[in-house]
């Protein structure tokens, strides 16, 4: 039987996943893409519009995900005001260059939010810097510890930080829990691949729903990296394995091929 792995990543990352699979001639498993969370841009009001009117005053603009980059792109901002200021995570740096046509800041930062903190620590006179963080509002999801830990660490550096909401991240509706649990119980899915804490939270809700129905789900869970694993464990999930290299989807796929 062909092994099938359910990838729960939001559809904003499906293109990157398909590209990663497309680079290999063969794969030992068949991927299935079912987003457990979704993200949409917020209307350009609230804190985002004032931020766009003050771009020249910021030293760094931190994009916490690809959606933050898209928010900047959709705003049609003057590129000269953000060139060399935009900080992004891992592969999102390429998106910054493609969507915004600007040079990324801190290009050698490790691909995580805490990696950005480490890169900022090497900057001189950080206390005098003004930093904007573009991030999401959460709907039906708790704020992941990766976000709160990042916020606490950044605040401790003494810089002038503005948190700008520009997109919303929403959990899969609970009306789909039953059919998702049925799919996981069917035996046709060999494992679940998580790429973020939000997905882990939704999976934990699905698992708890299945238990209340007297039909628990027992399927191996694999994680994109230690941050996602930590979120999954805090949500009560048992993680079977964690990819040691959370730098790209290609690394994650390589890891899954060796484990499943």
pLDDT in tens, 22-44: 988 889 999 999 999 999 999 98
Mean pLDDT within 176-204: 96
CATH for 3-36+173-259 (3.40.50.10090, 1.10.10.10, 3.40.50.1110, 3.40.630.30): 3.40.50.10090
The pLDDT assigned to 112 comes to 86
Question: Which residues face 132 on adjacent strands?
Answer: 61, 162
Task: Encode pLDDT of 140-172 as tens digits.
Answer: 999 888 889 999 999 999 999 999 999 999 999
Residue intervals in the chain for CATH 3.40.50.10090: 3-36+173-259, 40-170
Average pLDDT over residues 79-84: 97
Provide the mean pLDDT of the chain.
Answer: 93
Residues 82-88: contacts with CB within 8 Å, 24+ apart? 82/55, 85/58, 85/59, 85/60, 85/61, 86/60, 86/61, 87/60, 87/61, 87/62, 87/63, 87/116, 87/119, 88/63
| Phi-psi map region of 27: left, alpha, beta (phi>0 left; psi -120 to 50 alpha) | beta
Mean pLDDT of 60-71: 96
Q: Which tokens in the block code for residue 188?
A: 């046709």
Out of 3.40.50.720, 2.60.40.10, 3.40.50.10090, 3.10.180.10, select the CATH number for domain 40-170.
3.40.50.10090
pLDDT in tens, 202-239: 999 999 999 999 999 999 999 998 888 988 999 999 99
């Amino acid at each position: 039987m062909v092994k099938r792995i359910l990838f729960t990543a939001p559809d904003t990352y499906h293109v990157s996943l398909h590209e990663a699979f497309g680079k290999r001639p063969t794969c030992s498993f068949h991927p299935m893409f079912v987003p457990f969370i979704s993200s949409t841009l917020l209307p350009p009001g609230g804190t985002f519009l004032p931020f766009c009117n003050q771009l020249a005053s910021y030293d760094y603009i931190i994009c916490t995900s690809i959606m933050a980059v898209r928010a900047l792109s959709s705003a049609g901002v003057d590129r000269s005001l953000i060139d060399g200021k935009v900080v992004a995570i891992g592969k999102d740096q390429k998106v910054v260059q493609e969507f915004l046509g600007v040079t990324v800041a801190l290009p050698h930062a490790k691909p995580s939010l805490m990696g950005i903190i480490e890169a900022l620590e090497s900057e001189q006179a950080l206390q005098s810097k003004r930093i904007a963080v573009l991030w999401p509002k959460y709907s039906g999801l708790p704020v992941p510890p990766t976000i709160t830990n990042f916020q606490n660490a950044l605040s401790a550096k003494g810089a002038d930080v503005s948190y700008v909401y520009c997109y919303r991240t929403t959990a899969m509706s609970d009306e789909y829990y039953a059919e998702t649990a049925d799919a996981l119980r069917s035996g046709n899915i060999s494992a679940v691949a998580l790429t973020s804490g939000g997905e882990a939270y939704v999976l934990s809700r699905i698992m708890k729903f299945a238990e209340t129905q007297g039909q628990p789900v027992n399927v191996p869970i694999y994680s994109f990296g230690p941050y996602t694993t930590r979120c999954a464990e805090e949500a009560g999930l048992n993680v079977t394995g964690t990819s040691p290299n959370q730098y790209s989807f290609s690394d994650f796929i390589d890891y899954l091929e060796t484990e499943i």
